[in-house]
Chain A
Amino acid sequence: MLYYIGKRLLSMLPLLFGITLICFAVIQLSPGDPVTLGTSLNQEADADAHQKLREAYGLNKPLHEQYLTWLKGLIQLDFGTSFAPDNRPVIDKITESLPVTLWMNIIGLFFVFLIAIPLGVMSAKYQDSFFDKTSTVILFIAFAAPSFWVALMGMIYFGLHLEWLPISGISTYGSESWPLHERILDWAKHLILPIGIGVLGSIAGMSRYMRSSMLEVIRQDYITTAKSKGLTNTKVFYKHGLRNALLPVITILGLSIPGLIGGSVIFESMFSIPGMGRLFFDAVMMRDYPVIMGILTIGALLTLIGNLLADVAYSFADPRIRFGGQKNA
């Protein structure tokens, strides 16, 4: 097992290298560079200033040199400094935006599973019933509704009309001096709308996935066997069926890990949340290469780790899965 994990980890390195190389090349394909866009149509900026800025950022050097400089930094775990005029270290910018996005995504994911799994199981159990059909329709409406519109409606209804929830932001002004429990309540109130609307849109996919997984499992031979042994329907369904139907969820969980650091630009902009989505979006818009590369690299790394974790978790959940290299398989 350890051997397997070690091997997988090692094979990640060339993969990661390849990913960064491709990312670096692809970013360069989009027209414009940070200097052009930073001074574009600024009547007071002349060509001289333009050239000076290009040199300051090393953009006048050939591409492979720029990449090597960046890679050298990365090996020393240095993501470089941002091309935005603040010239702050990329890692500072990321660590500043990361916590709020990470928490929102974890809480969101938790609620998605909490709601979608029972919903999917119920839909499978009472397949084609009234409940199954109405929940499908409702969920797909929630899924199809444009999230920015739902967000606006939520803001207008709960924020403006009922005044139950704050419209935007992540905390009340001046709440730093409040006692902790009031601050937590304050955060919770601010996060209900952005997380809730995000969850609403994600339930559909997850619950349908759960439903089909469940339906597939209960058609298996061993379920028939279990039934023929005389076990109660409930027991067969939940003990034998559900456990196996949950297996694919592990894959989804693993694949969700890189998604945890990615924020939605739409939500973050509408709700004024200073998170990763906005950081990345702004970086792309102004061609802030170091920030883009930093986020992409971390994302790639997390994707690889997520895959590995999912594979490892499988071996625990499903004894039939064995790894190569294990002689006692």
Chain B
Amino acid sequence: MRIFWAVALSLALTACKPNTAKQEQDFSSDSGPIKGDILMHATLGDTSSLVPMLSGDVTSSYVAGLIYTSLLTYDKNINLVPKAAENYHISNNGKTITFKLKKDIKFEDGTPLTAHDVMATYQFIIDEKTRTPYASKYKMVQKAEVLDDYTFRVNYAEPFAPALSSWAMLILPKHILEKSKDDYNKTELKETPLGVGPYKLYKWRRGQDLSLKSTSDRPHIAGQRMRIIPDADATFLELKAGNLDHSGLKPLQYLLYKDKESFTNRFNLFSYLSNAYTYMGFNLKNPLFQDIKVRQALSFATPRDALVKGVLHGQGQPASTIFKPGTWAYNNSIKPYPYNLEKAKELLKEAGWVDTNNDGILDKDGQDFRFTIITNQGNSLRLRTAEILQYAFSQLGIEVKIRTQEWSTFITNTINKSQFDAIIMGWSLSAEPDPYSIWHSSQTKEGQFNFIHYKNKEVDQLIEDARTEMVQEKRKVHLDRLQEILHQEQPYLFLYVPYSNIAVHKRIKNVYAAPSGIDHNMEDWYVPQELQRYSINQLMP
């Protein structure tokens, strides 16, 4: 023991450096954009490969997104816009999309990026042996062809609106992909990506960090280092110690530090709606929930404001529908069910649920109103949500039990087999509003996502119509109607959309939040000369 502390102390003393100056430095000065500095951030999990179609994790997508380009991309308001494409054209019948590529894009090794690369990437994804979960949208392509070096055209058997978004896929270089034609799963791009920038992979130490170095004058930030820190608390400590420049904050961390000067002196805080919502889903095969009035009653009895306050510490807003507020597909006229206990009781009475035997629990045909909410273990937010709902429903005379299950058991036995009364879960929202996989009645088989067994013919039709309608305004008409029906029928109780809270170091300028988050203009971020902290030449020679 004593020896340990002696060793610790002697080592520690050599490491001792007065560091108060760093914390009191003024980061408000701004002498304008200039190249340089390194952005330090962290991620919870390492990636397994840098080909996102194969690995499918966030870290991989983020890093690859900085290395590769794509035909189309999402702008800060989550609209699809051309990127590597000069422009694109959809034929009048909606079945053909023609992309014209920009001519001046080059891969890091000097090879020009052409329509052949797009073609090769497409072929890589649809190859039977490629281990990717993302092939389905590309398999709907009837014919893909390279018209000339800078023109790429795809044909669909029938108009398919979500198709456009599938061309936001990253373009991999043909000449490297070809090297592993027999088994694309072994492509060297998994370890050594070759993209067009703005960044290139400088070094990847598995389990430790990924370093990226810029390849041109833009972005201003010359490098990025992404540390892998699997623990959220350790991440926060590193942020506080000034070793990270950019990190997400938990609701409580945000609330505790947003007014603390020692923190706000050094960090700018950003808050925006995250791409996810939490809901309670009913198993509609269970007779208990087949009556629409029962579901509406439970929705009226759901204290959404209390949930946001109690579960998210106010860092979120009540949810009302399946799309992200602020995006084009979101139906603005839908408001969450207001909390109204009287109305809820009335609806239940109409549905035949009354407490005939005076035991405090509603009953009908001799059966008590009891059910179990299941959610996954380790998600304290969902558990707290379940507890609040348990109390809220008890006010109606409904007895709710709560069960948590380890994730894989939850997915395999509960969700995939629809073995539940009700579940609390979340969906992350992809930028492409296609409700097919979650709401279409054909998607109820084991392992598919309509595991609540929602079936509504009109909804099916609307989903299909929305899919074949290429004009956004007309598509929105279908999607709006769809949201109205779901609002009416409440197959899910839509609960809340949490905020993402992000801290970014103050020396990094030109950062602002938009519906898509803060990363949309990362190329324009800069650190003024006088505030630059890390030397790219020293750390990434």
Instruction: Indicate which residue in A32, A53, A86, A173 contacts B412 across the interface (CB closer than 8 Å).
Output: A32
Return chain A residues, CB-CB under 8 Å to B237.
152, 155-156, 159-160, 167-168
Tell whether, in the assembled complex, residue A31 and residue B241 are in contact, meaning their CB atoms are under 8 Å apart: no
Tell whether, in the assembled complex, residue A173 and residue B229 are in contact, meaning their CB atoms are under 8 Å apart: no
Q: Smallest CB–CB gap between A36 and chain B, Å?
A: 6
Given A56-B131, A163-B19, A168-B238; A158-B12 close (CB under 8 Å):
yes
Q: Is A296 interfacial (CB 8 A cutoff)?
A: no
Tell whether, in the assembled complex, residue B447 and residue A85 are in contact, meaning their CB atoms are under 8 Å apart: no
Q: Smallest CB–CB gap between A131 and chain B, Å?
A: 13
> Which of A58-66, A235-243, A266-274 contacts the other chain?
A266-274
Which A residue sits closest to B438, measured CB to CB?
A43
User: Which residues of chain B from 164 to 216 have a CB within 8 Å of any chain A CB?
Assistant: 185-186, 190, 206-209
Tell whether, in the assembled complex, residue B186 and residue A87 are in contact, meaning their CB atoms are under 8 Å apart: yes
Q: Smallest CB–CB gap between B374 and chain A, Å?
A: 14
Tell whether, in the assembled complex, residue B413 and residue A48 are in contact, meaning their CB atoms are under 8 Å apart: no
Return chain A residues, CB-CB under 8 Å to B128.
52
Return chain B residues, CB-CB under 8 Å to A158.
12
Tell whether, in the assembled complex, residue A173 and residue B1 are in contact, meaning their CB atoms are under 8 Å apart: no
Q: Is A39 interfacial (CB 8 A cutoff)?
A: yes
Return chain A residues, CB-CB under 8 Å to B231.
168, 269-270, 272
Return chain A residues, CB-CB under 8 Å to B4.
111, 115, 196, 199-200
Which B residue sits closest to A265, measured CB to CB?
B230
Q: Smallest CB–CB gap between B439 and chain A, Å?
A: 11
Given A49-B136, A203-B1; A38-B56 close (CB under 8 Å):
yes
Given A53-B131, A160-B241; A272-B230 close (CB under 8 Å):
yes
Given A163-B19, A164-B15, A168-B234; A272-B229 close (CB under 8 Å):
yes
Chain B residues touching A, range: 35 or more
User: Which residues of chain A from 149 to 190 have a CB within 8 Å of any chain B CB?
Assistant: 152, 155-156, 158-160, 162-165, 167-170, 173-174, 177, 185, 188-189
User: Which residues of chain B from 108 to 139 have a CB within 8 Å of any chain A CB?
Assistant: 128-129, 131-137, 139
Q: Is A47 interfacial (CB 8 A cutoff)?
A: yes
Q: Is B538 interfacial (CB 8 A cutoff)?
A: yes
Q: Smallest CB–CB gap between B279 and chain A, Å?
A: 13
Q: Smallest CB–CB gap between A29 and chain B, Å?
A: 11
Q: Is A231 interfacial (CB 8 A cutoff)?
A: no
Q: Is A44 interfacial (CB 8 A cutoff)?
A: yes
Tell whether, in the assembled complex, residue B411 and residue A269 are in contact, meaning their CB atoms are under 8 Å apart: no
Given A47-B448, A86-B190, A115-B3; A164-B133 close (CB under 8 Å):
no
Return chain B residues, CB-CB under 8 Å to A47.
445, 447-448
Given A114-B3, A272-B231; A185-B539 close (CB under 8 Å):
no
Tell whether, in the assembled complex, residue A85 and residue B411 are in contact, meaning their CB atoms are under 8 Å apart: no
Tell whether, in the assembled complex, residue B416 and residue A36 are in contact, meaning their CB atoms are under 8 Å apart: yes
Tell whether, in the assembled complex, residue A163 and residue B241 are in contact, meaning their CB atoms are under 8 Å apart: yes
Return chain A residues, CB-CB under 8 Å to B230.
268-269, 272, 278
Tell me the complex Cα distance, A83–B56, Å. Answer: 14
Tell whether, in the assembled complex, residue A165 and residue B233 are in contact, meaning their CB atoms are under 8 Å apart: no
Q: Is B55 interfacial (CB 8 A cutoff)?
A: yes
Q: Is A42 interfacial (CB 8 A cutoff)?
A: yes
Chain A residues touching B, range: 35 or more
Which A residue sits closest to B57, measured CB to CB?
A85
Residue among B11, B137, B230, B427 with max Cβ neighbours from chain A (10 Å): B230
Return chain A residues, CB-CB under 8 Å to B133.
38-39, 42, 44-46, 49-50, 53
Could you give, for residues 261-304 of chain A, a 1 whenever the CB lies within 8 Å of some chain B CB and a 0 otherwise?
00000001111101000100000010100000000000000000
Tell whether, in the assembled complex, residue A189 and residue B3 are in contact, meaning their CB atoms are under 8 Å apart: no
Q: Is B228 interfacial (CB 8 A cutoff)?
A: yes
Residue among A85, A156, A167, A285 with max Cβ neighbours from chain B (10 Å): A85
Tell whether, in the assembled complex, residue A174 and residue B3 are in contact, meaning their CB atoms are under 8 Å apart: no
Q: Is A216 interfacial (CB 8 A cutoff)?
A: no
Return chain A residues, CB-CB under 8 Å to B15.
164-165, 189
Tally the A-B contacts, defined by beta carbons under 8 Å.
172
Return chain B residues, CB-CB under 8 Å to A196.
4, 8
Residue among B238, B427, B445, B449 with max Cβ neighbours from chain A (10 Å): B238
Tell whether, in the assembled complex, residue B11 and residue A36 are in contact, meaning their CB atoms are under 8 Å apart: no
Tell me the complex Cα distance, A167–B185, Å. Answer: 37
Tell whether, in the assembled complex, residue A49 and residue B135 are in contact, meaning their CB atoms are under 8 Å apart: yes
User: Which residues of chain B from 29 to 50 have a CB within 8 Å of any chain A CB?
Assistant: 46, 48-49
Tell whether, in the assembled complex, residue B233 and residue A36 are in contact, meaning their CB atoms are under 8 Å apart: no
Q: Is A84 interfacial (CB 8 A cutoff)?
A: yes
Which A residue sits closest to B16, measured CB to CB?
A164
Which B residue sits closest to A84, measured CB to CB?
B48
Return chain B residues, CB-CB under 8 Å to A270.
231, 233-234
Tell whether, in the assembled complex, residue A185 and residue B14 are in contact, meaning their CB atoms are under 8 Å apart: yes
Residue among A52, A53, A162 with max Cβ neighbours from chain B (10 Å): A52
Which A residue sits closest to B416, measured CB to CB?
A36
Could you give, for residues 444-466 of chain B, a 1 whenever the CB lies within 8 Å of some chain A CB and a 0 otherwise?
01011100000000000000000
Return chain B residues, CB-CB under 8 Å to A165.
12, 15
Given A167-B243, A173-B539, A174-B538; A49-B134 close (CB under 8 Å):
yes
Instruction: Indicate which residue in A31, A163, A174, A203 contacts B408 across the interface (CB closer than 8 Å).
Output: A31
Tell me the complex Cα distance, A163–B13, Å. Answer: 10
Return chain A residues, CB-CB under 8 Å to B407.
37, 285
Which A residue sits closest to B234, measured CB to CB?
A168
Q: Is B332 interfacial (CB 8 A cutoff)?
A: no
Which B residue sits closest to A161, measured CB to CB?
B241
Q: Smallest CB–CB gap between B263 and chain A, Å?
A: 12
Given A32-B409, A53-B131, A53-B133; A167-B3 close (CB under 8 Å):
no
Q: Is A192 interfacial (CB 8 A cutoff)?
A: yes
Tell whether, in the assembled complex, residue B209 and residue A48 are in contact, meaning their CB atoms are under 8 Å apart: no
Return chain A residues, CB-CB under 8 Å to B415.
41
Q: Is A96 interfacial (CB 8 A cutoff)?
A: yes
Q: Is B511 interfacial (CB 8 A cutoff)?
A: no
12 more A-B residue pairs beyond the given contacts A49-B136, A56-B185, A87-B186, with a C-beta to C-beta distance below 8 A: A30-B408, A31-B409, A37-B407, A44-B133, A87-B185, A115-B4, A159-B237, A163-B16, A192-B11, A203-B1, A268-B230, A274-B46
Q: Which 4 A-B pairs have the closest CB atoms?
A: A274-B207, A45-B133, A32-B408, A164-B12
- Can you report 7 A-B residue pairs in the complex whose CB atoms are below 8 A from each other? A50-B133, A52-B128, A56-B185, A85-B55, A159-B237, A268-B230, A278-B207
Residues of A within 8 A of B (CB): 30-32, 36-50, 52-53, 56, 84-87, 96-97, 111, 114-115, 119, 152, 155-156, 158-160, 162-165, 167-170, 173-174, 177, 185, 188-189, 192, 196, 199-200, 203, 268-272, 274, 278, 285, 287
